[in-house]
């Protein structure tokens, strides 16, 4: 279970890392049902970034993998993203699942605003804030 306090702590950790690197991002954290638990849009973000970060969190949670891995699967299988039937899915890197100690997906983190590798790395910095997550 994703607790609000954990999600807020993860956002603070991601924001601190982002500020230290001199960037701005939007962050969304969802629970196992892909319901939004917490979100943050830093000053200077583009308006669309918040929606994209939510889509990244949603996709990684539903698909039980990073959005980067999901994008690679789409290419490998020569599919269109619409094949999966979820209009919120995105293959943009920066979404990572939060995997519970039992191996099940308990949520997702989406970060948007930088390069694909930077978004994913920033999202990963928040994982340690979730007590029920694998470390």
Sorted by where each starts, the structural domains of the chain and their CATH numbers stand as 4-129 (3.30.450.150)
Residue with tokens 């319901």: 35
Question: 79 or 135: whose pLDDT is higher?
Answer: 79
pLDDT-derived band at 115 (thresholds 50, 70, 90) equals confident
| The predicted structure's pLDDT at residue 55 | 98
pLDDT digits (tens, 9 = 90+) for 7-25: 999 999 999 999 988 899 9
Q: What's the CA gap between 87 and 26, in Å, rounded?
A: 20
| The predicted structure's pLDDT at residue 50 | 97
Q: Which two tokens stand for residue 120?
A: 């994913």
- Find the mean pLDDT for residues 69-86: 96
pTM listed for this prediction: 0.95
User: Which range (57-71, 79-93, 117-131) has the least confidence?
Assistant: 117-131
| The predicted structure's pLDDT at residue 117 | 75
Please, which residues bridge with residue 108 across strands?
30, 97
pLDDT at position 36 over 80:
yes
pLDDT digits (tens, 9 = 90+) for 43-54: 999 989 999 999
- What rounded mean pLDDT belongs to the chain? 95
| The predicted structure's pLDDT at residue 114 | 82
Q: What's the CA gap between 135 and 133, in Å, rounded?
A: 6
pLDDT-derived band at 135 (thresholds 50, 70, 90) equals low
Would you give the distance in Å from CA 58 to the centre of its chain?
7
pLDDT at position 116 over 90:
no
């Amino acid at each position: 279970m994703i607790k609000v306090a954990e999600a807020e702590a993860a956002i603070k950790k991601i924001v601190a890392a982002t500020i230290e690197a001199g960037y701005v991002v939007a962050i969304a954290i969802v629970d196992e049902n892909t319901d939004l638990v917490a979100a943050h849009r830093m000053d200077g973000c583009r308006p669309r970034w918040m929606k994209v970060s939510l889509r990244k969190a949603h996709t990684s949670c539903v698909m039980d993998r990073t959005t980067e891995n999901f994008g690679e699967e789409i290419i490998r299988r020569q599919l269109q993203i619409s094949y999966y039937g979820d209009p919120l899915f995105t293959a943009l890197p920066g979404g990572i699942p939060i995997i519970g100690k039992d191996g099940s997906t308990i949520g997702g983190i989406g970060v948007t605003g930088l390069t694909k590798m930077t978004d994913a790395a920033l999202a990963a910095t928040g994982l340690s804030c979730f007590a029920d997550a694998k470390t």
